[in-house]
Structure 1
């Protein structure tokens, strides 16, 4: 039976302000899921919190990334907890936070001394460099950074660049399809499936190919990045950069269930859900219930279809 824990990572350092003087509310997601009994519903008893530095709008002149020094420091703190858990054969479920926590979780995997894959579920591909970013936010650059692209302040912490090799990454779910935006990732070695490709190729085929790649590459396992903006905007509007369309909750389960059931699964993180955009709590509560239901069989050691 596998052992799980929750790591709360309430960082919003990778995003710009929602509007002048209002910092992103993604840092409140751990509190919101705790209020909805997420740990209890999944059957996870161990929960720790990694407090994040205060939010600023500062852009680091050296890297041209917002809050780069704070993200560097926080990534090391988060990496320490992830590394410790994985070395003990505990599966961390990390609750963010914005997508810049990918830097800390990927660094944590690399600090174990192993080599890992990444299944990145996101309504955007996040394979950006500062020159292409309109926000200077690391949340939109995470996939590039962890695969060794970008300023070493974030991409080469502890001289461990890259934390995850591009050829071991699947980017899944992008639906911002402007050619100039998409070209950045299609020119890389990342395996890229946008939303139309998922619908055409099929979820089962893609997840099976990913798991086969992990096995054939001799990796030590893989991590899941889950940005909730991969979900259809009608069922998850509480995000900073909404796009039309997206996955249904059934499609989310069809994607996650076989990955989480795999013996190669080493952990995941959840990002971008902003409870301050959900005044009556209905979207956050539904998400908490849905994700808990997906995780529960693995936590309890039950057989998954």
Structure 2
């Protein structure tokens, strides 16, 4: 590893709605779980920063129709400050969630520093307005929020909307393709969208090259990667809140991520949704750590 690495721990779970058997979504345990199973030791970061989440609740917000809106905004602003205080473009930043709504704070921090791209690797698009969300959880709408789709209370925090421009985003890996209205939202946007089948046809390394060409052509200040682990096949990653049978293999993941992470304009990656409660023996998590740290050797 040639660049210094910072780890930011954002164990936030208020973007998810708890299941009937849960006291709260288990993704809040992700950073501590990865540390326990050796991730931090393998990475050997220069610094580790942490921002604990407020107590879990599922509070409706009539204005936005997104649950826990006020707490999500407060946390996102604190996230952005922490990142900004310790952001060095020469370093590589690994951001551990938490649920996908941690993207909001990361996006605000980056928008304040320039014009950045986003490679969104996820088993879902997360690009829907609140009216299409059965749960009202921000974790299923985070890509929409950071591009300005939805109520301004969430999409225009600090009057800097949009946090990412649609044309500067690749969204790849969606396997939830049966719901036409769900998919049409992103198809009708300016986002470069490749569902799981399109991604395979285009090729994993070629998709990475296409994205890097966009970054160069648009003269961006850098780019960030979102990795929701539910983009992986269910048989290797069943520890997620919304399971999809189809997905990437670890070989696919390496082919697409290594050229992105190795690029000097990549400022970091967020890892979200892995729920330790669904892997009590750590078998799947250890496999994930082994593979993701192999990818990080390209930094």
The TM-score normalised by the length of structure 1 is 0.95
- Which SS does the other structure have where 2:87 is aligned? helix
Matched residue, 1:268: 269
Q: How much does 1:87 deviate?
A: 4.3
* Deviations, residues 113-154 of structure 1 (Å, cap 9, x unaligned): x00000000000000111110000000101110011111221
Task: Return the alpha-carbon distance in structure 2 between the equivalents of residues 205 and 92 of structure 1.
Answer: 24
Structure 1 gaps, min length 5: 299-305
- Which SS does the other structure have where 1:171 is aligned? strand
Q: How much does 1:82 deviate?
A: 2.1
The alignment status of 1:162 with 2:162, answered yes or no, reads yes
Q: How much does 1:42 deviate?
A: 1.9
Task: Return the alpha-carbon distance in structure 1 between the equivalents of residues 84 and 108 of structure 2.
Answer: 8
Asked if the contact 1:18/1:24 (under 8 Å) is kept, the reply is: yes
Aligned Cα RMSD in Å?
1.2
* Deviations, residues 256-275 of structure 1 (Å, cap 9, x unaligned): 10000011101110000000
How many residues are matched? 297
The TM-score normalised by the length of structure 2 is 0.97
The alignment status of 1:292 with 2:293, answered yes or no, reads yes
List aligned pairs for 1:1-305, cutoff 5 A: 1-19=2-20, 22-87=23-88, 89-112=90-113, 114-178=114-178, 179-298=180-299
Asked if the contact 2:89/2:267 (under 8 Å) is kept, the reply is: no
* Deviations, residues 237-284 of structure 1 (Å, cap 9, x unaligned): 000000111000111111110000011101110000000011211111
Asked if the contact 2:4/2:46 (under 8 Å) is kept, the reply is: no
* Deviations, residues 205-237 of structure 1 (Å, cap 9, x unaligned): 111010000011010010000000000000000
Structure 2 gaps, min length 5: none
Task: Return the alpha-carbon distance in structure 1 between the equivalents of residues 152 and 88 of structure 2.
Answer: 26
Q: Structure 1 202/186 Cα, relative in aligned 2: closer, same or farther at 3 Å?
A: same
- Which SS does the other structure have where 1:297 is aligned? coil
Asked if the contact 1:4/1:90 (under 8 Å) is kept, the reply is: yes
